[in-house]
């Protein structure tokens, strides 16, 4: 439990420190999830009307592309975050942090960004 608390505090510090970039990530995730939600609602409307066909197939592909772009965007942002913080990772490892703790920091950071962005996108 102590390791999770340390990982959470480090992840939260990373989120606050990189505010403008994380705001852009949140906007991207919100738009992606919002688009997928709208496409799903439209698809259900087509199903209710019995209009399953080319238009509904197009909605499936659009929502799949939007979801893939959202995942790639978050993954790219986390890769950049890891590349920027090589010294911090080295310091943590020298102080005795396990690989699991270091990976947990970045996992929690991306999880928080994804959940908050998804909530914003779903509510919009």
Q: What is the pLDDT along the chain (124 residues), one digit of tens a residue?
A: 577 777 777 777 877 887 787 787 888 888 888 877 777 777 777 776 766 666 667 777 777 888 888 888 878 887 887 888 888 888 888 888 888 888 888 888 888 888 888 888 777 7
- Pair of tokens at residue 60: 């499936």
- Pair of tokens at residue 1: 């439990």
SS (H, E, C) the chain: CHHHHHHHHHHHHHHHHCHHHHHHHHHHHHHHHHHHHHHHHHHHHHHHHCCCCHHHHHHHHHHHHHHHHHHHHHHHHHHHHHHHCHHHHHHHHHCCCCHHHHHHHHHHHHHHHHHHHHHHHHHC
- Pair of tokens at residue 107: 């996992």
């Amino acid at each position: 439990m102590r390791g999770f608390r340390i990982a959470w505090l480090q992840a939260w510090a990373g989120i606050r420190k990189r505010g403008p970039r994380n705001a852009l990530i949140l906007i991207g995730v919100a738009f992606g999830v919002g688009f997928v939600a709208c496409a799903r609602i439209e698809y259900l409307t087509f199903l209710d009307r019995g209009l399953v066909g080319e238009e509904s197939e197009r909605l499936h592909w659009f929502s799949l592309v939007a979801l893939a772009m959202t995942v790639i965007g978050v993954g790219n942002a986390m890769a950049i975050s890891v590349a920027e913080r090589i010294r911090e990772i080295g310091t943590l490892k020298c102080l005795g942090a396990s690989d699991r703790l270091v990976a947990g920091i970045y996992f929690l950071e991306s999880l928080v960004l994804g959940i908050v962005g998804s909530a914003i996108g779903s509510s919009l």
